[in-house]
Amino acid sequence: MASNLWGYLPSTPVGPLAVDRAFYGRLGAETATRTLVERFVIPIRTGKAWPVRAGQLCRVVVVEGPQVADFNCWNLHNPRERFWAARTKQLEGSHVTTGNRLWSALPYLRPMLTITNDTVRYGVDADGGRCHDLLGTRCDPYVHKLLTGEEFDYCCHSNLTRAIRPYRLTELDVHDVLNIFQVTGLKDDRYFMKASPARKGDAFEFFAEIDLLCAISTCPGGDLSIPLWGPDAGDTLSVCRPLGVEVYQPPAELLAGWSSPPASDYRGGHGLEAKAGGAG
Ligand SMILES: [Zn+2]
């Protein structure tokens, strides 16, 4: 039943942030009627980019064992419209789960996707840790060099950079990520990470509100059970695992009443143009 997925919602957004629970609950629950569009596996320490059309569902699947995915997305037709982690944190929370949405950057500001099924259902642990993280960002070779002195080409930033190259995008298009299957929190105002609680068969599923280009890096930190940096740092290769991706087309009748959301209709011009009658 759809209601099972939605009883877990940590909070109930209202007003312009409200989501149609019945609609997204049905999309997440009715798996038998969807048609598989594409399925692939992303090997360890690599990246992959793929389109998800508006109205399609996409699942990121734990195929072998726990592994963190660093996720980026763009409007498929306009890479300036991309996922905005900071605003999403404010509107949805610092961690996202079923019923939350990822919002796009200015001047667009619309939901790019809605999460329809998070099977991890981690909740809140004793340290205040939660899963699917927006607090942190991707690992990158610049901070890696800063902290370790080493050159390393398979950080998430680099994996994403290689992944989007076929779409003529560069590292300047890589942005702050959603860390899927990653548990984080703040303690004494310091960011902490924990080993991923995801198990084989777990999935993080979302509905594309607009045509998307999605990209994932299978983090070289693997399941984050061994620190990449710091005094306890070790070789994380043994805890790196591949992740699966599946794209589905739900039947038209399940999409009845839904329409792709428009970009913001703000037309004020930031006060750059004088208005008749002064400030209005
Ligand atoms: Zn990483």
pLDDT at 120 over 50: yes
Ligand 1 centroid – CA 101 distance (Å): 22
Residues 6+ apart with CB under 8 A from 122: 129, 130, 131, 183, 197
Ligand 1 centroid – CA 120 distance (Å): 20
Name the percent of the chain lying above pLDDT 70.
Answer: 93
pLDDT, residue 1, reads 35
Q: What is the mean pLDDT of the chain?
A: 93
> Of all helices (H) and strands (E), which one includes residue 149?
none
What distance in Å separates the CA atoms of residue 53 and residue 15, rounded to the nearest whole number?
A: 27
Band of the pLDDT at 234, cuts 50, 70, 90? confident
Supply the pTM of this predicted model: 0.93
Query: How many residues does the structure list for the chain?
Result: 280
Both tokens of residue 28? 């997440």
Q: What is the pLDDT of residues 160-217, one digit of tens each?
A: 999 999 999 999 999 999 999 999 999 999 999 999 999 999 999 999 999 999 999 9
Q: What is the pLDDT of residues 66-108, one digit of tens each?
A: 999 999 999 999 999 999 999 999 999 999 999 999 999 999 9
Name the percent of the chain lying above pLDDT 90.
Answer: 87
What's the DSSP call for residue 209? S
Number of H helices and E strands in the chain, helices first, is 5, 13
pLDDT at 2 over 50: no
Rounded to an integer, the average pLDDT of 31-51 is 98
Ligand 1 centroid – CA 242 distance (Å): 13
Map residue 46 onto helix, strand or coil.
coil
pLDDT, residue 280, reads 47
Residues 6+ apart with CB under 8 A from 155: 138, 139, 140, 141, 144, 220
What's the DSSP call for residue 95? B
Both tokens of residue 56? 């399609």
Ligand 1 centroid – CA 188 distance (Å): 24
Ligand 1 centroid – CA 69 distance (Å): 8
> Of all helices (H) and strands (E), which one includes residue 179?
strand 178-187
What distance in Å separates the CA atoms of residue 105 and residue 109, rounded to the nearest whole number?
A: 5
